[in-house]
Structure 1
Amino acid sequence: MASISDFASDYTSYIAATFVVFLFVFRLYSTERADIAKIPLIDGSSTSQNPLAYYLGVVRFLVDANEIVLHAYNANPTSGIVRIPRLFGWHYLIWGEQHVREIASAPEHVLGFNAATAEELQTKWTVGRQITDDAWHANTVRGSLTRNLSRCFPEVRDEIVLAFDEILGKQLDGTEWKAFRIQEMTMQIVARTSNRLFVGVPLCRVPEWIQMNIDYTINAFVRAQIISLLPEFTKPIIAPLISSKNRSLRHALRFLLPVLKERLESELVQGKERPDRPNDLISWLLDYAPDYERDEKAIALRILAVNASAIHTSSTARLAALTMALFDLAAYPEHIGPMREEVERVIASEGWTRAALKQMHKLDSFLRESLRLGVVVMARRVMRPEGFTFSDGTSIPQGAIMSVPSYAIQINPASFADPMKFDGFRFSRARDSESDHQC
């Protein structure tokens, strides 16, 4: 008699086999538009409709993406547009000064950065339709958060210092070297510092709240990769079963419900002008929230979404910058002295302010050098029905995702002298040289 585990194994195999057959049939009957067929594949192979050749290309790129991108770029480093095979369509890789300028200058409704991010994170399912279809909270981030950053900078700085002391202090006793998982540590610090602005003290210091936001972000990203493998017509049925959004929201409300109830009641009774109104994300969201979303559950979901954006490694540079900078500080300690001298000098003159950070040219240069060798940047989704046509006549269809191969460009000797060498003050020297010429 077959066991339940045997049945489950057979059922899983059946589903997997059905999915593979579906992919082959889907590719077999897919037709390529003539303008798309003219764009070469990234590995230079045939654009044949042969499903086996197509999906072998998908696997090759997953296994050896960096080498394939470098080979395509080096074949014509001046300018290029190539296609990368994905399960259900093409990704487009673009480079060349003119092409990049056209991408950068295109408005959001033509080439959408937010839409490309939503595609990567499958936000419709992992974060919620109400977030993607009615992103009013974006005005809060662009408006209130940006306006209040200088005003809130001392609080953020204090939280950074306290977070480093507590997170590192738990493991350092001053007697020996310790090993750290840098990415885990930086996620904790970024999440805690961000939440000083988002929900304030004391909630930003509650370990369970911080860990819940980190777990939600990681789960959303991992599950988005799974959902992205599904055919579009199956997502309304299957994606909600995969997404952790509802469970995470219930968990978040355990922390947020008392806070949000009190804040909403205070808004009704005392209004927005009360002198003790907290200057944080909750208040800023209430400034913009439409009447149909002025409730605890809706505001909590927006806070989760903003937290995910702040913590997620692919959509923000902060976490990557901090992680890579710490690695590079350990690898190239000769940069520490000059940067420390610059920071101490600027702080003695300006204090801990946002304006002071702009005067730390060596520190800025070191961070830029740490991030210089990213793989791809400038992801955009084509928004208009007629697609997007470059000045050379190459047309990319609506819905397609395009990006720029940053790593290949950055290691090109035409872009930088000795590009594979880490030079922490590369950009500050260039700035100083430019200033000297202007004088």
Structure 2
Amino acid sequence: MTTKLDPKFTALLNDLAAKLETLELLPRVLADTAPSLKETAADLSRQLHAYATSLVEAQEAKIAADAAEKEAARLAKEQEVAERARRLAELIAAKEQAAAEKAAEKARLQEEKEAAQRAKEQAAADKAAEKERLLAEKEAAKQQAAAEKEAAQRAKEQAAAEKAAEAARLQAEKEAAKLAKEQAAAERARRLAELMAAKEQAAQEKAAEKARLQEEKEAAQRAKEQAAAEQAAEKARLQAEKEAAKEQAAAEKEAARIAKEQADAEKAAEKARLQAEKEAAKQQAAAEKEAARIAKEQADAEKAAEKARLQAEKEAAKQQAAAEKEAARQAAAEEKAQRDAAREAEKEQARREIEEMKAATAAMRAKQEAEQEAKRKVEEEAKAKREAIAAKARAEQEAKDRARRMAAMATMAADKAAMEAEKKRQAAEVKPAAAAQPE
């Protein structure tokens, strides 16, 4: 038959140790053997207490080992799932790689097929070009023959023309004398025309000078507009930098606020931990105080019982001489009182043991609750740190995105202003050309 290790057995050991500590030996044993028996009982009580404590610690270690084993099994299972997911990802990646290689091979074959088709078309085009060249050479030879025939016909016609020209020369010399007179009149008309042309030239130069001044004025206006556009672009860039700096400052301020909140959370967690330790110490002190009170009450009860016993013995000895009957009655009453006192003492001892067990259970529960509260505070601190880091990263990323958007908008505004200035410049260049074209 085996004994089951449970809280009842531990309570039984503690109960037995407590009974050994309060074991009353006198007057049931010899007075000279009572001290050694009392010391032996104290040693057994300490050993039983130590054994009970070892059993509790061993049970707690077994519970912790089981929890660690479960945690290790859970971690191994998670690792196995992660390994399975990694293998699946590698398999999918290999499958995608094979599909990509297959698609690349298919594209290469298609490219080779298209290259062959292009080479075939190029050969056909070269053949057609050669045919066209031969036809062109044949047509050129035909045209050359026709040109030579045409040249002979022109030579014949040229001879006739020279003959006619000679006749015309003679007629021209005759007409030259007539034209000399007309030439003098034409010379006078030419000089008059040159004078008019000089006047018109001066007017054109004056108009050109006016157009040049107008063009320089418009160029200065375009330069001014270009400078204004550049100034606007610079202003937009400075504004974007200012906005980016402002957003960066806001992000840093937010990060500082989150850091402060994190510090406050850590401070609150530390305060809660200290409060929990203080409460646990307070409860432990209360339990120890209650145990001391119970021990004092037990000592007082034992002292009262001893005093009552001595008083009863004294009264019995005093009344024994008076009457045997009264002595017998007193003896019976004394025995009954002792039995009642022993029962009361046992009841009080049992009550004290129950109170001690309750106090120990309450202290252990308070310790566990304090540990759980501290663990929860640590988890909350870690969660707050993670959230603070994530918020800081999001704020920095948003600030960078806004800065990039503002820079892009500034660049677009500058490009737009430059395009507008270029359009105005081109329009200004087109106006003088359009104005000078009718002249």
Question: Could you tell me the TM-score, scaled by structure 1's length?
Answer: 0.17
Give the structure with the larger helix fraction.
2
Whose RCO is larger (CA < 8 A, sep 6+)?
A: 2
Q: Indicate the structure (1 or 2) with the bigger Cα radius of gyration.
A: 2
Question: Could you tell me the TM-score, scaled by structure 2's length?
Answer: 0.17
Give the structure with the larger strand fraction.
1
